[in-house]
Amino acid sequence: MDLDDDDSFFTRNVLGGNPAPRQPAAPAAQRRASPDPFQSGPDFDVWTANRDSEDTQGETPLQQLIRHWMNERHAPDILPVQQTLLSGLLDHIRRQSDTVQILRSDPSSSEEDHFRIMLVQTEIERVKFIVRSYVRTRLFKIEKYARYITTNADVQSRMSATEQQHATRHATLTDEHFFQSVLRSLPAPQRGLDEAPAFVPSIVTLPDKTRAVFVHARVDCPPVRLPDGTTLEMEKGHISLTPYAVVEQLVARGEVELV
């Protein structure tokens, strides 16, 4: 999967719409006017600038992405989509890839330049892996909880429009499959998927917020109440094992991260 394929995949499944057209790249001579094209110029500002308001500890966009990626992987529920962050990183990857292609085709590039190109390409692939894993983790949850999502406005508010459409389509196809395979053979009163008989697990798969997770406190956190009635106070740097429901709001505010 090349950069164009990655860009289309990420844009379709998270950002929505079509990939933005590439801007024409500057000539190689102009790119090489900088004493070090890999460490100066506007391209690298994306890693160190444009920090969003949630950032309280000087994180770069890449560090923010890694934190949201780990939170998404470990949280049983669907977390808010990071559209702005992903859009900025994808745009940066596109510009860096254009720069690499220009420098690779420049016959005046030195051996040191080619070594730097290799390092930049390695870093680009690392970031693309993290973005790809983040997107696919969300898609897995969306398909797993599709029917629950279609009836829960709060969860829908954490998703992009494209993700909501995918959840609706997946839930519709699943319902149709269940009906054609099993339900149409049952008596009419037993064909519903929303029934909740006593002592019987729900047919609709729900996120298990009682699942235990490891949390790392990024700041001094306010006390939280555990299921047994006791309180837990987490100081900055403290790591605890607790049900996800206990720290759900702390994760949403960015005061803790899942590890």
| C-alpha span between 180 and 185 (Å, rounded) | 8
Confirm whether 23 is domain-assigned: yes
Indicate whether 121 and 243 sit together in one domain. Answer: no
Integer Cα distance of 254 and 68 in angstroms: 9
4 has pLDDT over 60: no
Q: Which CATH number goes with the domain that contains 247?
A: 3.40.5
**Average pLDDT score over residue span 116-130:** 91
Which of 14-23, 78-87, 98-107, 187-196 shows the lowest mean pLDDT across its residues? 14-23
Looking up residue 140, the CATH number of its domain turns out to be 1.20.58
- What is the pTM for the complete model shown? 0.77
31 lies in the same domain as 140: yes
- Considering the domain boundaries, does residue 203 fall inside one? no
pLDDT category of residue 5 using cuts at 50, 70 and 90: low
Domain range enclosing 220:
212-258
Contact indicator for 127, 43 with CB cutoff of 8 Å? no
Say whether both 12 and 140 belong to one domain.
Answer: yes
Give CA separation, 243 vs 79, 152, 162, 253, in Å.
16, 22, 30, 17
Point out the domain boundary residue: 88, 118, 144: 144
Report the alpha-carbon distance of residue 204 to residue 193 in Å, rounded.
7
Q: Are residues 55 and 136 in the same domain?
A: yes
Q: What is the predicted pLDDT for the residue at 128?
A: 93
Tell me, yes or no, whether 172 lies in a domain: no
Residue 47 domain-assigned? yes
Last residue of a domain, one of 144, 170, 201: 144
Is residue 115 included in any domain, yes or no?
Answer: yes
> Is 181 part of any domain?
no
User: Side chain identity at 76, as an amino acid letter?
Assistant: P
Mean pLDDT taken over the chain: 81
Question: What is the domain count for the chain?
Answer: 2
212-217/224-225 β-pairing = unpaired
Q: What is the 3 state secondary structure string of the chain?
A: CCHHHHHHHHHHHHHCCCCCCCCCCCCHHHHCCCCCCCCCCHHHHHHHCCCCCCCCCCCCHHHHHHHHHHHHHHCCCCCCCCHHHHHHHHHHHHHHHHHHHHHHCCCCCCHHHHHHHHHHHHHHHHHHHHHHHHHHHHHHHHHHCHHHHHCCHHHHCCCCHHHHHHHHHHHHHHHHHHHHHCHHHCCHHHCCCCCCCCCCCCCCCCCCCCCEEEEEECCCCCCEECCCCCEECCCCCCEEEEEHHHHHHHHHHCCEEEC
pLDDT in tens, 152-193: 999 999 999 999 999 999 999 988 888 888 877 888 777 777
Say which residues have a Cβ less than 8 Å from residue 252's Cβ, sequence separation at least 6. Answer: 79, 80
Do residues 121 and 237 share a domain?
Answer: no
**Which of 94, 111, 144 is a domain's end point?**
144
Categorize the per-residue pLDDT at 56 as very low, low, confident or very high, splitting at 50, 70 and 90.
very low
Let me know whether 133 and 252 are in one domain.
no
Residue 95 domain flag? yes
pLDDT value of residue 1:
44
- Copy the structure tokens of residue 71: 């939170």
Residue at 18 is within a domain: yes
> Mean pLDDT, to the nearest integer, of 77-88?
94
